[in-house]
């Protein structure tokens, strides 16, 4: 079952709350910093009574600044209104620390820039011996605050009529019974499903040219690493816009 955060009396609270939901970051500290500025500026100008910030995962890999992205998010998430979810890339990083052989797969997902951001010097194609060495080096160099941040990330967040997860949900399974594997990895079964899921699903994981707002889901992954566009949705009741 998923590690889920939620709010009591959330249906009654929803109209009084502005939710900022941010898509996949992938090591782009520059875009994350711009998004922090946009959120803060919108809060200053619109003055919502309450607000929540939800980051839907995939903070690391591909981009050059995974270390600094984790540092920035861990600091921002100290505020109780900030929710950071776990993406499949964070899960692979954690898996690597336990099983260095995972690097063979993780490398294909953009691990090398992440390792470099932590001061390591991996080869382009590490063998198993080097993988064990790199895992030990990462365990030694990763700040304990980063590891705690990564290990305690929930895989979903529910508020009002919205349900947030990195990848989506498995159709036909009640939201409280969703499995972590699906919440972080699912694609076609979720994306091709036209069902009403009970709540609007807000997700990333599958890059699109523009944010997608459908009757049952909102995709906020616009491929920030490659496109330079990090999407931030602004959700207030049933109104959905973008900063």
pLDDT tens figures, 58-92: 999 999 999 999 999 999 999 999 999 999 999 99
- Mean predicted confidence (pLDDT) in 189-193: 94
4, 157 Cβ separation under 8 angstroms: yes
4 pLDDT higher than 60: no
Q: What is the pLDDT of residues 43-52, one digit of tens each?
A: 999 998 899 9
Q: What is the mean pLDDT of the chain?
A: 92
Please write the tens of the pLDDT for every residue from 8-20: 445 545 668 999 9
* Model confidence pTM above 0.85: yes
pLDDT at 207 over 90: yes
Domain ranges of the chain: 14-86+153-242
Contact 56, 21 (CB under 8 A): yes
Domain 14-86+153-242: which topology?
Purple Acid Phosphatase; chain A, domain 2 (3.60.21)
């Amino acid at each position: 079952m998923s590690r889920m955060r939620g709010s009591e009396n959330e249906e009654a609270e929803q109209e009084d709350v502005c939710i900022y939901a941010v898509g996949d970051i992938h090591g782009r500290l520059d875009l994350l910093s711009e998004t922090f500025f946009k959120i803060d500026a919108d809060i200053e100008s619109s003055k919502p009574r309450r607000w929540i910030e939800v980051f839907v995962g995939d903070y690391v890999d591909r981009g050059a600044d995974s270390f600094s992205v984790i540092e920035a998010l861990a600091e921002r998430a100290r505020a109780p209104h900030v929710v950071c979810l776990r993406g499949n890339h964070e899960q692979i990083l954690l898996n690597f620390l336990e099983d260095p052989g995972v690097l063979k797969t993780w490398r294909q997902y953009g691990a090398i820039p992440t390792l470099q951001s932590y001061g390591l010097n991996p080869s382009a194609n590490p063998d198993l011996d080097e993988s064990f060495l790199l895992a030990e080096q990462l365990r030694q160099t990763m700040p304990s605050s980063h590891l705690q941040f990564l290990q305690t990330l929930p895989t979903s967040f529910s508020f009002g009529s919205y349900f947030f997860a990195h990848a989506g949900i498995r159709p036909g399974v009640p939201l409280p019974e969703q499995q972590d594997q699906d919440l972080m990895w699912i694609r076609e079964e979720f994306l091709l499903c036209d069902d009403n899921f009970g709540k609007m699903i807000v997700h990333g994981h599958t890059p699109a040219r523009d944010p997608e707002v459908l009757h049952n889901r909102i995709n906020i992954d616009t491929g920030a690493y490659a496109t330079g566009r990090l999407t931030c949705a602004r959700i207030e009741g049933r109104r959905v816009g973008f900063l």
